[in-house]
Structure 1
Amino acid sequence: MTKEHANWSPYDNNGGTCVAIAGADYCVIAADTRMSTGYSILTRDYSKICKLADKSFMASSGFQADVKALQKVLSSRHLIYQHQHNKQMSCPAMAQLLSNTLYYKRFFPYYAFNVLGGLDGEGKGCVFTYDAVGSYERVGYSAQGSGATLITPFLDNQLKSPSPLLLPAKDAVTPLSEAEAVDLVKTCFSSATERDIYTGDSVEIMIVNASGVRREVEQLRKD
C-alpha cells in the first residue's frame, strides 16, 4: 500500500455535513451541497438528501458511491413493502429498515453516516441518528459528517436534549417553533462553513409537517 493510499479516506470523496431537528409537529432535515475530493470541489450543487417516503427523508455524508448504493437498496425494499401492505412505511419503520440494512453489511460496511428525519404515526417530528454499522437512536436533533464536531456542541448548547435515564421519560422533541428551527439550522451551517473546507456553497433544507414538505435553499460561502 502506498503512502497516498494509506492516508486515503472516503471522506475525501465527499465530506459535507447533515443536520436534523425534530419538533412537536415538524421535522427539519438539512445538508450542504458541496461534493469534493481532497482540496478539489467536484460540484457545488449536489443534493445529499433522499426522499424515502412521503414523511421520511434521509441525509447522508461520507462516500457518495456507498450512499447511492444504500439509497437504491432502501428504495427497492420500500417498494416491496408498499406492494405487500398497500401503504407507505412510517418513519420509525423506515428507521428500523435502515438499521437492519446497515447491520447486514457490518463486515464490509457502507461508508455512509446518516440522519433520518420525518413524522411518526402521531404526527410528531422524529430524528434517528446512525453510525456506519446500524446502531441508531431516536433523538431530538443530530449532526453527521465532517462538520458534525463543530455543529453538535452548538446544538447541545442551544437545545440540550433530556437524559434518556430520566424517569419518567421525557419527549425528545425540541421546544423550538418551526421557523426558529430553520433559522438555527442556517446559523449552524454558516458557522461550520467558516472552519470546514468540505462544507459550503449552499444548504438544502427540507421542512416536513402535517401540510406537506417545503424545500428551502440558503447560500453559503463558496471559498
Structure 2
Amino acid sequence: MNSIMAPVAIQEPGNYHAKGPIPESRVAPVAGHGPMQANFSPYMDNGGTIAAIAGENFVVLAADTRLSLGYAILSRDNSKMSALTPKCYIASSGMNADITTLHKVLKMRAVQYQQKHGKDMSCHAAANLLSRTLYYKRFFPYYTFNLLVGVDNEGKGAVYKYDAIGNIEQVPYASAGSGSSLIQPFMDNQVGFKTHQIIENESRTVEETVEFMKDMFSSAGERDIYTGDAIEIAVITPEGAHIEKFALKDD
C-alpha cells in the first residue's frame, strides 16, 4: 500500500520554545497521515465444486449448493447450474455475481435463438455461444469456470469444459471449482481408467453414474470446507432432464 508521508517537526532538547520556521533538514516523514491508495481487486472466489460425466445416451451434471467467502458460509442453498434448453445445462464455479450475470446472458440468448429460429439451440451451438461470450469479455473476464453439458443431435451425452476466457474442449468427464483437485483424480481412475492396465467394464448406467457422483461429492465435502450442504444432480437424456438433490454434511 502506498501512503503519503506527512512532515513532523523534530525539536532539539532544551529548545522547545524556539520561534520561527523549522529548517527543512529537521523535518521527518511519518507514515499513516496521508490519503491511502487501495489496489483495484474486483474478483472474489465463492467456492463450490461442479462435475460432469457423459454416457452413451445421457449426461450427468452435479454441483454443490454452498456459497462461501473465506471462512463464512453465505448460503447453504445456492444453485450453481442453469438450464439453457431442456437438453442443455450449464454449471459454474467461481465468483457468484459473475456466475449469475453469465447465466442470465446465456439464457437470454437461448430464448432469442428459439424465438428467431422456432427451435431450441443445439448443445453444440450453446457450447460455442458460451465460448464466444467468454472470449468477448477476455479483457475483463467473468471470474467463472464452466461446464456445459447436454445431449447432442445424435442422442449422445456431451461435456464441454472451459477456462475463464473461452478456451473450449469436449471431454468425456470434467470437474471444476474448489474441490476439483480432490474429484478429478477419482474420475481419472474410475471413469477414465487412466491408471488401470485391465479394463473390465468401461460404461456405467445412469443410476450407477448418479451414485458415483454422490460418493465423489461426499468424499470431497469431508476435505474441502467450500464444498458441502447438498448437491444438485441433473440427469439429461434425449427425452429431457430431471434434477434431484442429495444432502451432504452441513458443517
Both proteins in one fold, TM over 0.5:
yes
1:183 aligns with one of 211, 215, 220: 211
Larger Rg: 2
- Deviation, structure 1 residue 80: 1.9
**Contact 1:53/1:88 (8 A) holds in 2:** yes
Local SS of the residue matching 1:10: coil
Report what 2:150 is aligned to: 118
**What is the identity, as a one-letter code, of the residue corresponding to 2:236?**
V
**Contact 1:202/1:220 (8 A) holds in 2:** yes
**Contact 2:43/2:143 (8 A) holds in 1:** no
Distance 1:98 1:217 in 2: 26
1:208 aligns with 2:233: no
| Larger proportion of helix | 1
Report what 1:217 is aligned to: 245
Gaps of 5+ in 1: 163-173
Report what 2:132 is aligned to: 100
1:3-23: CA deviations, max 9, x gaps? x97999621xx2000011100
2:69 aligns with one of 37, 41, 62: 37
Q: How does 1:38-187 map to 2 (within 5 A)?
A: 38-160=70-192, 175-187=203-215
Local SS of the residue matching 1:152: helix
Distance 1:76 1:133 in 2: 20
1:116-145: CA deviations, max 9, x gaps? 111000110000011100001111111010
RMSD in angstroms over aligned alpha carbons? 1.9
Report what 2:223 is aligned to: 195
Distance 1:180 1:25 in 2: 14
**Contact 1:140/1:161 (8 A) holds in 2:** no
Structure 1 segments (4+ residues) deviating >4 Å: 4-9
Local SS of the residue matching 2:243: strand
Report what 1:171 is aligned to: none
Distance 1:54 1:203 in 2: 20
**Contact 2:89/2:148 (8 A) holds in 1:** yes
After TM superposition, the score normalised by the length of structure 1 is 0.89
How many residue pairs end up in the alignment?
209
**What is the identity, as a one-letter code, of the residue corresponding to 1:87?**
K
1:10 aligns with one of 44, 50, 72: 44
Distance 1:121 1:7 in 2: 42
Distance 2:193 2:43 in 1: 32
Distance 1:113 1:56 in 2: 17
- Deviation, structure 1 residue 161: 7.0
Q: Which has the higher contact order (CA 8 A, sep 6+)?
A: 1
**Contact 1:35/1:43 (8 A) holds in 2:** yes
Distance 2:219 2:42 in 1: 27
Percent sequence identity is 52
Gaps of 5+ in 2: 2-35, 195-201
Distance 1:28 1:18 in 2: 11
